[in-house]
Structure 1
Amino acid sequence: MQLFLVLLGAFVVFILSTLTGGGASLLLMPLVAVVVGVKAVAPVMAISIGMSSTSKVALFWKHIDWNLFLWLFPSTIIGSILGARLFASLSSDYLQILIGLLLVSTVLQFKKPSKPRFKVKAWHFAPMGLIVAFLSGLIGGVGPLMNSAYLNYGISKESLLGTRSANAILLHITKIISYAYFGYVTGEVLKYGILIGVTSMVAVYFGKLILAKISELFFRQIVVASMVLSGILMLWKNWDTIESII
């Protein structure tokens, strides 16, 4: 029954993730943790999100911005390896709180979602990608943290999903290899990762059908809303740590 609920939750979450440009990891982590334990969440999510990203790349291939992908390529590999290396040795609570605050603050950047306040250039994605990949390797997922950069770069909804997913494949493959090297990928992790991954690939297809029916403006609005919601969820998950600080 627990597995069924996780797979049902994964199906819904990955449809929403397709419509909002990401964030599946933050929404699904609590469910996965119940089944496999907190320490196995990061490698399970790396496998499942890597599989869902593969289906998004296949569906949005012609919309991928390969120039952005090339800027992200080296920093994604380096950052994810470093993050996975420190996965077992550092407490991630404070990092998750910081990321949560950054995500919530996104609402201030997009008072008018159709008119971003600053312009992001392609080369900016290299340092941003390094930081985000490192954090993703360290804590398992950072939600749609870079979506504001993609929106401010000025790409379409299909291009955002395709480019982000192409980079996500690289990110999660690197993380999976790193987690396996450091001994975090067990038979149980593979089983749940693949089951959730297959479910996510089906969900992405249905998400694409819905995506075609919404406007660019509405897409920007729900992306920003999902970033704020992801930030609130991350802060809520670490509320005990926040209370200890206060």
Structure 2
Amino acid sequence: MTLILVLLGAFVVFILSTLSGGGASLLLMPLVAVVVGVRSVAPVMTISIGLGSISKVILFWKHIDWNLFKWLFPSTVIGSILGANMFAILSTEYLQLLIGLLLISTVFQFNKKETPAKFKIKAWHFAPMGLVVSFLSGLIGGVGPLMNSAYLGYGISKESLLGTRSANAILLHLTKIVSYAYLGFVNGEVIQYGLMIGLSSLLAVYAGKIVLAKMSTIIFRKIVVASMVLSGGLMLWKNLPFIQEILQNI
């Protein structure tokens, strides 16, 4: 029964992820931890989200911005390998708090008027940003829609955002799972649950695409920002005991 509830929850999460341009990793963390334990969360999510990304790439193939993908490619591989290798030896609580606060800060974009940006995001800027984000993803398992503000600042369409982000996610999660396997964090149970949740994501992505086609760009941007705030809140909530410990020592 627990597994069925987790799969149903994953289905809903992946629909929301398709509509918001990402965030499934943070939303899935509490669900996955229920069935496999905290230590296996990162590799299970890597497999399941990788499968979900494959379906998004298939559905949004013609909208992928290959110029952006070119800049993201090397930094994603390098960053994810470095992050996965640090996964087992570093305390990641402070990083998760920082990322959570950063995601929550995007709430100020809700009622922001559309004015010309003072700093224009260019394609090559995604190389250093991709390096940092992929490193953090390998280190803590997932960072949610952390780069979505950059995609929106670049002026990308909602379909192109989903397709390009998913193409890069396949590369990211493939590199991560190979690294996790090499380090001994992948076993039969991890693969089993990763595939089961991943198959649930395939159906959810298709359902999300149907809804997305009827959604305006303005609503899409608001959902993206809302998902970033929610993801940040969940990341802080997941580390609530650590936050309480910090406050007690102040």
Common fold by TM > 0.5? yes
Offset at residue 7 of structure 1 (A): 0.4
Offset at residue 241 of structure 1 (A): 1.2
The number of residues matched between the two structures is: 246
The equivalent residue for 1:207 is: 208
Measure, in 2, the Cα distance between the counterparts of 1:108 and 1:170. Answer: 31
Q: Which runs of 5+ in 2 are unaligned?
A: none
Q: Quick check: 1:51–1:201 contact (8 Å CA) kept in 2?
A: yes
Measure, in 2, the Cα distance between the counterparts of 1:186 and 1:109. Answer: 42
Question: What amino acid is aligned across from residue 48 of structure 1 in structure 2?
Answer: S
Q: Quick check: 1:84–1:175 contact (8 Å CA) kept in 2?
A: yes
Q: Quick check: 1:81–1:137 contact (8 Å CA) kept in 2?
A: yes
The equivalent residue for 2:69 is: 69
Question: What amino acid is aligned across from residue 33 of structure 2 in structure 1?
Answer: A
Question: What amino acid is aligned across from residue 56 of structure 1 in structure 2?
Answer: K
Measure, in 2, the Cα distance between the counterparts of 1:109 and 1:220. Answer: 9
1:12/1:186 CA distance change after superposition, 3 Å:
same
1:57/1:111 CA distance change after superposition, 3 Å:
same
1:133-184 deviation digits (Å, cap 9, x = unpaired)? 0000000000000000000000000000000000000000000000000010
The equivalent residue for 2:18 is: 18
1:113/1:223 CA distance change after superposition, 3 Å:
farther
The equivalent residue for 1:226 is: 227
Question: What amino acid is aligned across from residue 129 of structure 1 in structure 2?
Answer: G
The equivalent residue for 2:155 is: 154
Scaled by the length of structure 1, what TM-score is found?
A: 0.98
Q: Quick check: 2:97–2:239 contact (8 Å CA) kept in 1?
A: yes
Question: What amino acid is aligned across from residue 106 of structure 1 in structure 2?
Answer: T
Offset at residue 107 of structure 1 (A): 2.1
Moved more, 52-61 or 228-237: 228-237
Offset at residue 92 of structure 1 (A): 1.0
Offset at residue 108 of structure 1 (A): 2.7
Q: Which runs of 5+ in 1 are unaligned?
A: none
The equivalent residue for 1:5 is: 5
The equivalent residue for 1:189 is: 190
Q: Quick check: 1:114–1:220 contact (8 Å CA) kept in 2?
A: no
Percent identity of paired positions between Structure 1 and Structure 2: 77
Q: What are the residue-to-residue correspondences of 1:28-43 with 2, within 5 Å?
A: 28-43=28-43
Measure, in 2, the Cα distance between the counterparts of 1:210 and 1:115. Answer: 28
Question: What amino acid is aligned across from residue 37 of structure 1 in structure 2?
Answer: G
Q: Quick check: 1:113–1:220 contact (8 Å CA) kept in 2?
A: no
Q: Quick check: 2:109–2:225 contact (8 Å CA) kept in 1?
A: no
Q: Quick check: 1:21–1:147 contact (8 Å CA) kept in 2?
A: yes
Offset at residue 217 of structure 1 (A): 0.8
Q: What are the residue-to-residue correspondences of 1:10-159 with 2, within 5 Å?
A: 10-109=10-109, 111-112=111-112, 114-115=114-115, 117=117, 118-159=119-160
Offset at residue 109 of structure 1 (A): 4.5
The equivalent residue for 2:178 is: 177
Question: What amino acid is aligned across from residue 121 of structure 2 in structure 1?
Answer: V
Offset at residue 28 of structure 1 (A): 1.0
Offset at residue 27 of structure 1 (A): 0.8
Runs of 4+ residues over 3 Å off in structure 1: 113-118
Q: Quick check: 1:85–1:178 contact (8 Å CA) kept in 2?
A: yes
Measure, in 1, the Cα distance between the counterparts of 2:113 and 2:153. Answer: 10
What value does the CA root-mean-square deviation take over the aligned residues?
1.1
